[in-house]
């Protein structure tokens, strides 16, 4: 007699598999909680403690931190990629430039701890390096969808547009230079207007008050 398939309605769930999957999710969620709280490079022990499991249990489910990173990305990928989807991609070039910046600003604000954690650990993680490279390719493709006029720009200008719309630029403006979200959007918008030769002032007030610039 053959074993019942997974699709057989008479098949009972495997309790051990369910418990194992629950433990794996708890461990992944614990790692993400720590990162969200600012612990950008959590140790295996910190993750185990937060998940409420022993360190042996963690390494029984994940052979090493690389496998934890890979599983976490499998769980999280749809949600973080979803932050870059949609948006109003109609209208003039100037309108689409602004909307693209605003969409990325919203995503970057939500994903900042995760991205910073990834960058802090990439030097020693092949998994994180591959994931980061894949995501950068996706962002480049998404930007071309927002702004097909990119193809008409000289190569060095296309690279400048990508740099200006990157997380690294956003993080510098927000964290290093202390600009508000609105001021950061205005800085990037005005620079992109120059690259695309858009004859339009920055959104909002033409003169931003000094008190509105920094947090």
pLDDT band at 212 (very low <50, low <70, confident <90, very high): low
pLDDT digits (tens, 9 = 90+) for 65-78: 999 999 999 999 99
Q: What is the pTM of this model?
A: 0.84
Residue 4: what pLDDT? 40
Q: How far apart are CA 144 and CA 162, in angstroms?
A: 10
Where helices occur in 62-180 by DSSP H, the ranges are 65-82, 93-121, 126-146, 155-164, 167-171
Pair (50, 124) in one structural domain: no
Domain presence at residue 1? no
pLDDT digits (tens, 9 = 90+) for 91-114: 999 999 999 999 999 999 999 999
Residue 144: what pLDDT? 97
Pair (123, 141) in one structural domain: yes
Q: How far apart are CA 209 and CA 157, in angstroms?
A: 30
Residue 65: what pLDDT? 93
pLDDT band at 17 (very low <50, low <70, confident <90, very high): confident
Closest by CA position to 40, among listed 104, 138, 126, 122: 122
Residue 1 burial (C-beta neighbours within 10 Å; 0-12, 13-18, 19+): exposed
pLDDT digits (tens, 9 = 90+) for 132-182: 999 999 999 999 999 999 999 999 999 999 999 999 999 999 999 999 999
Pair (72, 152) in one structural domain: no
Identify the domain containing residue 198 by its residue range. Answer: 83-213
Domain count, the chain: 2
pLDDT band at 215 (very low <50, low <70, confident <90, very high): low
> 108 near 211, Cβ under 8 Å?
no
Token pair belonging to 171? 């993080």
């Amino acid at each position: 007699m053959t074993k019942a398939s997974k699709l057989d309605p008479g098949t009972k769930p495997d309790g051990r598999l369910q418990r194992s999957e629950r433990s794996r999710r708890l461990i992944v969620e614990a790692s993400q909680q720590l990162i969200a709280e600012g612990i950008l490079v959590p140790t295996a022990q910190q993750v185990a403690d937060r998940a409420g499991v022993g360190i042996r249990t963690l390494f029984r489910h994940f052979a090493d931190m690389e496998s934890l990173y890979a599983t976490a990305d499998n769980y999280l990928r749809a949600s973080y990629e979803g932050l870059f989807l949609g948006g109003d991609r109609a209208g003039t070039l100037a309108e689409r430039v602004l909307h693209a910046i605003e969409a990325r600003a919203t995503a970057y604000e939500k994903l900042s701890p995760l991205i910073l954690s990834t960058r802090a650990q990439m030097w020693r993680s092949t998994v994180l390096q591959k994931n980061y490279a894949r995501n950068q390719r996706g962002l480049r493709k998404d930007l071309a969808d927002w702004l097909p006029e990119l193809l008409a720009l000289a190569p060095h200008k296309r690279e400048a547009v990508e740099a200006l719309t990157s997380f690294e630029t956003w993080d510098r403006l927000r964290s290093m230079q202390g600009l508000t979200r609105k001021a950061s959007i205005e800085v990037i918008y005005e620079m992109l207007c120059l690259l695309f030769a858009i004859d339009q002032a920055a959104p909002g007030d033409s003169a931003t008050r000094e008190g509105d610039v920094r947090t």
